[in-house]
Amino acid sequence: MQVIETIETFRTARSRYPRLGLVPTMGFLHEGHLSLVRRAKEECGAVAVSIFVNPTQFAANEDFSTYPRDMERDLSLLREIQADLVFTPTPATVYPPGHDTGVEVGTVTNVLEGVVRPGHFRGVATVVCKLFNIVQPTKAYFGQKDAQQCVVIAKMARDLDMPLEVVVCPTVREADGLAMSSRNSYLKPDERRAATVLRRALAAAEARFSVGERSGETLRQAMLETLATEPMGSVEYVSIADRRSLTELGQVPADGALASLAVRIGKTRLIDNVILGS
């Protein structure tokens, strides 16, 4: 496994692989990340993982400086599962002085996370576009955990004719249903217990959907009722939206819907989602 900090060295190393999967990450790796790396390696024969806590996708009031980092541990996990290339650029490499270009994806960035985190998806799309240009992957792998990010990246790749395939992989969960996330490490023990309410709220929507409920409002209400049972949780949004346009639905159509939510547990902001009807 080769660990590379600069773009030039990365390009040289990359040229040895006819097919290469890419898994972009912000590090502090867990089984969710590793599932993407394994799938990329399986499908492409070789895998590059980027580890970069991207400053431009954090707003000033967010957790950029405290975001968990453990490069040594990340590298040893990646070595174990035989990643081929690891790209670990510094912020100055990705954003040298004078860098002044960004990628704006359209209306799908204006809802859900985009409302609460203005500028977030511009930061994400810009860094992922740069990683695509540097790594030139055959396929790039993203987790369903960040459902809106998957929609935004797939749209960017399609709209800008990027020559690669975007692959969306299932959310990996803890035994009690909590979606794995680097940010779960912020949770104190009582908050960690309370955090299971996100998965339970999504399960409430799934249960209603499975017995034929198709009203968006009723399904959103079912999630809110479950969330209300957890006093440590403060709801940012619940959503039943079209899977592609991400617009809120009055009625769930035959091809299903994305049920998603964002909840603060103490100071920690958590998101989760399921697809209804898949």
> 179 vs 249, which CB is nearer to ligand AMP?
179
Q: Is 146 in the site for ligand AMP (CB under 6 A)?
A: yes
How many residues line the site for ligand AMP (CB under 6 A)? Answer: 17
Q: Is 137 in the site for ligand AMP (CB under 6 A)?
A: no
Query: CB 145 → ligand AMP: shortest distance, Å?
Result: 4
And the tokens for 231?
């006093």
Instruction: Out of 117, 120, 145, 199, name the contact with ligand AMP by CB under 6 A.
Output: 145
Q: Is 89 in the site for ligand AMP (CB under 6 A)?
A: no
Per the annotation, the verdict on 99 as an active-site residue is no
Distance in angstroms (rounded) separating the CA atoms of residues 252 and 164 = 31
Q: Is 32 in the site for ligand AMP (CB under 6 A)?
A: yes
Q: Is 57 in the site for ligand AMP (CB under 6 A)?
A: no
Long-range contacts from 131-136, C-beta under 8 angstroms, 24+ separation: 131/22, 131/24, 131/50, 131/52, 131/87, 132/22, 132/157, 132/162, 132/164, 134/7, 134/10, 134/11, 134/87, 135/10, 135/14, 135/20, 135/22, 135/48, 135/50, 135/87, 136/14, 136/20, 136/164
Instruction: Out of 108, 179, 219, 227, name the contact with ligand AMP by CB under 6 A.
Output: 179
Q: Is 148 in the site for ligand AMP (CB under 6 A)?
A: no
Distance from first CA to last CA of the chain, Å, rounded? 37
Q: Is 114 in the site for ligand AMP (CB under 6 A)?
A: no
And the tokens for 250?
């009055």
Which residues of this protein are in contact with ligand AMP, per CB under 6 A? 25-26, 32-33, 35-36, 142-143, 145-146, 169, 171-172, 179-182
The residues annotated as belonging to the active site are 33
